[in-house]
């Protein structure tokens, strides 16, 4: 089976890269992936893959039924791009101003199409069914991401029901040829929040006649840093960061209100709830102590992405069988970035994999950089690992 995977993926490597470049040129905003969906649907149908739609508008699923009985495994591929201007000088540069595939989703989708082509030709090795889940709006954290809405629309529960999931993300901390993961949390919970501090505006020369929301907000922001240092177990992890502070319109006027916006990252649900509760107290009581009031708006966004032990072992075994011993890397700690694959992992046993693209002697631009780019030979590597994992899953000989 391994030789067949190498042969088939090797034979379509340029085909996979071609799809990556085509998708790279048509980046679309979260929930607006209409051309992307149309492109993927056509490729899947041309391959003879059964396609189901109706999942959060632009989401779709390709269904590959194996020749042997068994359950259903989902492979997930995110579709949306980021709102930024591309600064990479490549012939397949984004054709949509202000939009760029700067997080590897074009690569993820092209690997998904590669899996579709290979697995349709290897149904004799599939035990059960493989669902290729093409998911919109992974980047749309402020509204909760697309995976939970696909779940609500039945992507897991529709027949055949998905019993386990695999996701993969192109990753800068691993070398080309390496695939990594870990048991337990691998990506952080990502929760945006905003605060409005309401005071009483007055002339800057007469601060005692009003209530200064700028000073109040400043003290709250400083005190928020104690939420982690004095309320979170030092063997746990958490981050509270402020990214925006807005208030005032003149240098000599104390305004009525100040707003600030930030994000919280954590890896443990109990810690996550504790941080929220302590923030609420620090913000509301801190404002009260200064004679002001504060409105605290907290969004429980993506939960932590937590890998299930048996699925990690499946991925480890599959990676080393297809790439060679030592190519699977045991990740020593999770990343503080958020990932809405977490919602799938909360519902069914799952594993989220990192696919390395770091090259010795070359500068590596991380995701969300306008200079983001990767060596396209990793796409064949990732496709092989995903296909091997899909073929191993449910196979009695690999249990």
Q: How does DSSP assign 291-329, residue by residue? A: T-EEEEEE---BPPEEE-HHHHHHHHHHHHHHH-TT-EE
pLDDT in tens, 306-335: 999 999 999 999 999 999 999 999 999 999
Range of the domain at 236: 189-298
Where among 266, 298, 330 does a domain terminate? 298
Alpha carbons 117 and 21: distance in angstroms, whole number: 17
- Closest by CA position to 168, among listed 361, 338, 383, 19: 383
- Specify the pLDDT at position 289: 98
Alpha carbons 194 and 149: distance in angstroms, whole number: 24
Burial 179-216 (b: 16+ CB within 10 A, else e): bbbbbebbbbbbbbbebbbbbebbeeeeeeebbbbbbb
Same domain, 99 and 157: yes
Task: Give the pLDDT mean for 20-27.
Answer: 98
Same domain, 126 and 24: yes
Where among 298, 325, 351 does a domain terminate? 298
- Specify the pLDDT at position 143: 83
Alpha carbons 182 and 293: distance in angstroms, whole number: 44
| 398, pLDDT greater than 80 | no
Task: Give the pLDDT mean for 59-63.
Answer: 98
Structural domains of the chain, count: 2
Same domain, 136 and 211: no
Sign of CA dihedral 37, 40, 45, 46: positive
Contact present, 210 and 217 (Cβ < 8 Å) = no
Establish if 350 belongs to a structural domain: yes
Establish if 136 belongs to a structural domain: yes
| 144, pLDDT greater than 90 | no
DSSP secondary structure letters along 85-125: ------TT--SSTT-B--SSHHHHHHHHHHHHHHHHT-GGG
Establish if 303 belongs to a structural domain: no
| 364, pLDDT greater than 80 | yes
pTM reported for the whole predicted model: 0.93
Query: How many beta carbons lie within 10 A of that of residue 223, not counting itself?
Result: 14
Same domain, 147 and 105: yes
Same domain, 33 and 173: yes
- Decide: helix, strand or coil at residue 243: strand
Q: Which residue has the higher pLDDT, 1 or 200?
A: 200
Helix H or strand E encompassing 132 = strand 127-135
What is the helix, strand, coil percentage profile of the chain, to 5?
35, 30, 35
Where among 298, 318, 333 does a domain terminate? 298
pLDDT in tens, 64-95: 999 999 999 999 999 999 999 999 999 999 99
Task: Give the pLDDT mean for 48-54.
Answer: 98
Structure tokens at 375: 């060596």
Alpha carbons 316 and 6: distance in angstroms, whole number: 18
């Amino acid at each position: 089976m391994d030789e067949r995977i190498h042969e088939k993926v090797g034979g379509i490597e340029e085909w996979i890269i071609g799809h990556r470049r085509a998708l790279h040129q048509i980046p679309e905003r979260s929930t607006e992936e209409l051309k992307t969906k149309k492109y993927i649907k056509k490729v899947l149908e041309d391959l003879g893959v059964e396609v189901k739609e109706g999942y959060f508008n632009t989401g779709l699923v390709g269904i590959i039924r194996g020749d042997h009985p068994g359950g259903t495994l989902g492979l997930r591929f995110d579709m949306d791009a980021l709102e930024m201007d591309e600064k990479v000088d490549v012939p397949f540069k984004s054709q949509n101003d202000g939009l760029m595939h700067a997080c590897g989703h074009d690569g993820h989708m092209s690997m998904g199409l590669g899996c579709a082509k290979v697995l349709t030709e290897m149904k004799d090795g599939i035990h059960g069914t493989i669902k290729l889940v093409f998911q919109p709006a992974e980047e749309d954290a402020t509204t909760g991401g697309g995976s939970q809405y696909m779940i609500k629309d039945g992507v897991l529960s529709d027949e055949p029901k998905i019993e386990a999931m695999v996701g993969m993300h192109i990753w800068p901390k691993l070398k080309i040829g390496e695939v990594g993961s870990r048991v337990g949390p691998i990506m952080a919970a990502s929760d945006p929040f905003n605060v409005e501090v309401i005071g009483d505006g007055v002339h800057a020369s007469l601060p005692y006649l009003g209530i200064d929301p700028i000073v109040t907000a400043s003290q709250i922001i400083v005190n928020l840093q104690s939420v982690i240092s004095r309320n979170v177990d030092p063997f746990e992890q958490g981050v509270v960061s402020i990214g925006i502070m807005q208030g005032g319109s003149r240098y000599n006027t104390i305004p009525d209100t100040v707003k600030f916006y930030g994000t919280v990252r954590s890896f443990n649900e109990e810690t996550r709830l504790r941080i929220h509760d302590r923030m609420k107290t620090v913000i509301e009581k801190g404002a009260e102590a200064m004679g002001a009031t504060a409105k605290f708006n907290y969004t429980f966004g993506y939960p932590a992405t937590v890998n299930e032990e048996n699925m990690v072992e499946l991925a480890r075994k599959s990676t080393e069988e297809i790439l060679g011993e030592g190519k699977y890397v045991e990740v020593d700690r999770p990343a503080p970035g958020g990932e809405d694959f977490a919602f799938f992992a909360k519902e069914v046993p799952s594993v989220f994999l990192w696919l390395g693209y770091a090259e010795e002697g070359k500068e590596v631009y991380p995701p969300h950089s306008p200079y983001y780019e990767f060596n396209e030979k990793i796409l064949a590597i990732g496709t092989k690992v995903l296909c091997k994992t899909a073929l191993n899953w449910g196979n009695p000989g690999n249990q």
